[in-house]
Amino acid sequence: VANERTGGYGGRFENRIRFLLEVTEVVRKEWPEEKPLFVRISATDWTEGGWTVEDSVKLSIKLKELGVDLIDTSSGGNVPKATIPSKPGYQVPFAAQIKKEANILTGAVGQITTAQQSEEILKEGKADLILYARESLRQPYFPLHAAKSLGIDVEWPLQYERAKL
């Protein structure tokens, strides 16, 4: 829906993913093999006739073949009138489906706001990594507080000692 190009980078599926695959190939050649390579994708654009999670699975398989280690699984953002059912963990099922069907590590995002919620996602095998964005903006010390809520004693960086709550 968002890609209306008609040339070599538009139209059929292979053309619509071409640019990302070309960029990934170049990055993989330059990026050290011993360091993980993540690619963030929008698993769906939440609109009829648009990009689907099934498209994302096919894309993720191709990215894995190019040496990508993890798919950072987000959604939406390209179609202004899309209806996004925003609720806690709403994008986790996309990470789970891509992980299972493309056999690649995935990162989950999307209103994941507690340590317990994160732990559940990981323990259930729905994703391999939780990535925090807005929660890190709201609570810069979120990882430290999350560890405490899970009963994990984490040594705070010396510079942060006086900022403890």
Q: What is the mean pLDDT of residues 51-80?
A: 95
Q: What is the mean pLDDT of residues 32-37?
A: 97
Q: Phi/psi at 78 (nearest 5 deg)? A: -110, -15
The torsion angles phi and psi of 52, rounded to 5 degrees, stand at -120, 165
Helix (H, G, I), strand (E, B) or coil at 76: coil
> Residue 90's pLDDT is what?
96
Residue 162 banded pLDDT, cuts 50, 70, 90: confident
- Whole-number Å distance between alpha carbons of 102 and 55: 11
What is the arithmetic mean of pLDDT over 45-69?
96
Tokens of 120: 């559940």
Superfamily of domain 13-131: Aldolase class I (3.20.20.70)
Phi, psi angles (nearest 5°) of residue 42: -95, 110
pLDDT above 90 as % of the chain = 72
Q: Where are the domains of the chain?
A: 13-131
Amino acid 2: pLDDT: 65
